């Protein structure tokens, strides 16, 4: 996964959601560096941190979407659950991997799952938030 940088188009417009996304991205960047540096133990710690942060983020985001009466909340919650299952499975695979190449491949899969949440899952509710006046259209 080459592009682990924040871009303005990733912004949702809700500060705590955008801050969470940036924090998750930072953990992804640190994890990628640990993998590239051969720091396997640090990598597993970071992957655990990544999953914990993702779970906390999903919980906060879902609570907010409930508050604003997002009509597709149940679909979004299911999407989060599927992402966590995929990411957790990837982490467990990482814990048993011995070669750096496989670890990088595993990380790429996990990163794609979590970036997918921003690019596909959250963009869907962004237009609802704009329409309802919770965020301003730029």
Model confidence pLDDT, tens digit, residues 12-47: 999 999 999 999 989 989 988 888 887 878 888 888
Candidates 1.10.3720.10, 3.90.950.10, 1.20.120.50, 3.40.50.720; CATH matching 13-130? 1.20.120.50
Please determine, for residue 3, whether its predicted confidence score (pLDDT) is greater than 70.
no
Residue-range domain boundaries for the chain: 13-130
Q: Would you say residue 114 has pLDDT above 90?
A: no
Half-sphere exposure of 115 (CA within 13 A, CB side): 19
CB 17 within 8 A of CB 122: yes
State the Cα angle at 96 between 93 and 99, rounded to 5°: 100
CA distance 50 to 68: 27
Of the pLDDT bands very low, low, confident and very high (cuts 50, 70, 90), residue 136 is confident
Reported confidence tier of residue 86, pLDDT bands at 50, 70, 90: confident
Q: Do residues 50 and 27 make contact, with C-beta atoms less than 8 angstroms apart?
A: yes
pLDDT at 128: 92
Strand runs (DSSP E) across 40-126, as ranges? none
> d(Cα 50, Cα 54) in Å, to the nearest integer?
6
């Amino acid at each position: 996964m080459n592009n682990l940088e924040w871009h303005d188009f990733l912004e949702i417009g809700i500060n705590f959601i955008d801050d969470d996304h940036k924090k998750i991205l930072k953990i992804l960047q640190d994890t990628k560096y640990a993998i590239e540096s051969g720091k396997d133990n640090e990598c597993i710690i970071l992957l655990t941190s990544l999953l914990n942060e993702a779970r906390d983020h999903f919980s906060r985001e879902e609570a907010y979407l409930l508050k604003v009466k997002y009509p597709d909340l149940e679909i979004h919650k299911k999407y989060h659950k599927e992402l966590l299952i995929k990411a957790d499975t990837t982490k467990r695979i990482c814990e048993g991997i011995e070669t750096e190449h496989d670890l990088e491949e595993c990380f790429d899969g996990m990163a794609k799952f979590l970036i997918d949440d921003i690019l596909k899952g959250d963009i869907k509710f962004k237009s609802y938030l704009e329409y309802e006046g919770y965020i301003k259209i730029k």
